[in-house]
Amino acid sequence: MFKDFKPVLGILLRFIIIYLVLLFAYQFYLNGSKFSGLDSFSRMIANRVCALQNSIGYPTSLYNDIENNQVWFYVNRDYRTRMVEGCNAVSVMILFVSFVFAFYKGAKTFLFVGAGLIVLHMINLFRIVGLNIVMVDHKEYGTMFHDFIFPAIIYGSVIVLWMIWIKFFALKHENS
């Protein structure tokens, strides 16, 4: 009976192992920066968002709230949003990487993961910029965009990338 399910169980086991290893590595990274405020990757994203917003006409500055592990976005000299560790999309990226590597196909796996991480990073930057713009121009829609629209965009992007990986790379020889 297990013989029929061996390929599926192998993929599932690879996914779980890769996911747990990446999750523990990320937690180890976060534990190393918990006394210095927001982690450096999240701060880098906040700085990029600030630069993007400044370049499109939304004057933005940041306030590092080290005590509370967050960065505040001030747009037009008014508080709009705050960024915490969960805004950096690393957990989404870990999920993406784990799934793709569960269907490992050699060197192209690394190339696809690299390209996918760049795409997800860019989508996340535009997601945060978009939320800040919504909070400046249409604050009444802020909760809806934060809780529903933008999560749907980032998770939907992961699903589209997974579908591309499966259709065009992972199962290409099986379907030919």
Q: Which amino acid is at 44?
A: M
Point out which residues pair with 70 in neighbouring strands: 65
| pTM of this structure | 0.93
Instruction: Identify which of 79, 83, 159, 149 has the alpha carbon closest to the alpha carbon of residue 116.
Output: 159
What residues pair up with 74 in beta bridges, in sequence order? 61, 79
The answer on pLDDT for 175 being more than 60 is no
89 — alpha (psi -120 to 50), left (phi > 0) or beta? Answer: left
Tokens of 156: 């939907």
From the list 26, 57, 22, 52, the residue with the least C-alpha distance to 41 is 26
Q: What is the pLDDT of residue 9?
A: 93
Q: What is the pLDDT of residues 27-52, one digit of tens each?
A: 999 998 877 889 999 999 999 999 99
**Each residue of 125-167: pLDDT tens digit?**
999 999 999 999 999 999 999 999 999 999 999 999 999 999 9
pLDDT band, very low/low/confident/very high, at 84 (cuts 50, 70, 90): very high
Query: Which tokens in the block code for residue 152?
Result: 């749907």
